[in-house]
Every structure is written in C-alpha cells, then in structure tokens.
Amino acid sequence: MLQLARSIGLVQQERYSESDMPEDLTDDAIDDILDTIASDLARLNKWELSFIASIDDQWERKRHLSASQREVLERIWEKY
C-alpha cells in the first residue's frame, strides 16, 4: 500500500520520543517518521493507515505537509 523508496537507516534503532520530537518537523524528521511508521503498520487503525498512505504519497510528490497534517502525524507518531 505505501510506496516508500527511502532507506530506513538508523531510524528503527533510534526513534524520537514524544519529548524530543522536533516542534517544527524537519524534512529529515518527516522522512524518518514515515519510514518508521511504514515498518510497523499494525499499530494503525484504518483511518490512520489511510491518512499515512495519503500524506506519504503527497510527501513523495510535493515534499510539503500542511500544519494540520503535521499535527495529525505527530499524534500518530506518539504511538511509536
């Protein structure tokens, strides 16, 4: 479902915690978060899975997420 072509690198071993997640997510942080989430989709409900698929596709094409999308991504990220 998700078409992630990026390499995961150290993301699986070194994840952001809620307390050290960047307030203004950098492009690299978004890449890392999407890669990590994609590696463990079982934690997501149907809506979250659809949302992540949608923003991943948008991120790949435009490298831009709205402020609202970033907020939702951060809330989903808290599960990891």
Instruction: For residue range 33-70, list pLDDT tens digits in order.
Output: 999 999 999 999 999 999 999 999 999 999 999 999 99
Q: Which tokens go with 27? A: 């492009």
Q: Quote the CA–CA distance of 14 and 56 in Å, as a whole number.
A: 21
pTM to 2 decimal places: 0.69
Q: Are 75 and 18 in contact (CB under 8 A)?
A: no
Domain ranges in the chain are 22-77
What DSSP character marks residue 4? -
Question: What is the pLDDT at residue 12?
Answer: 39
